[in-house]
Amino acid sequence: MLWIVITGAVVGVVATVVAFAFVYRDAHRLDISRPLLWAVLTAGPIALGTGLFVFTDAPMTGVLLTANTGTVLYGFEREVTTERGETRTPRTRPKE
């Protein structure tokens, strides 16, 4: 049982570092404002989810939702930043 916790901790630390590096590089490449902030906001919840998994008896669904929060927020920001500029209103239909 201890090996599961140790493996989870190592995977969590590696995932945190990889997510931080990827998001920082991607945000900098796409010229998203404050790439360091987005890297921290993405990697922070992953580290928090890892901590919940290793040090508490939190339900796995809560751990997964916590760990994915930053990635989802960055995905929304990335989509808004890279969209083409088509203005959409509730009365317009998407182009087919």
Q: What residues contact 79, with CB distance under 8 A and at least 6 apart?
A: none
Residue 54 neighbours by CB distance under 10 Å: 15
pLDDT score recorded for residue 91: 72
Per-residue model confidence as pLDDT tens digits over 29-38: 998 889 999 9
| CA dihedral for 48, 54, 58, 63, sign (positive or negative) | positive
Biggest CA pair distance of the chain: 57
pTM value? 0.78
Separation of alpha carbons 67 and 57, rounded Å: 15
Domains of the chain, by residue range, sit at 2-79
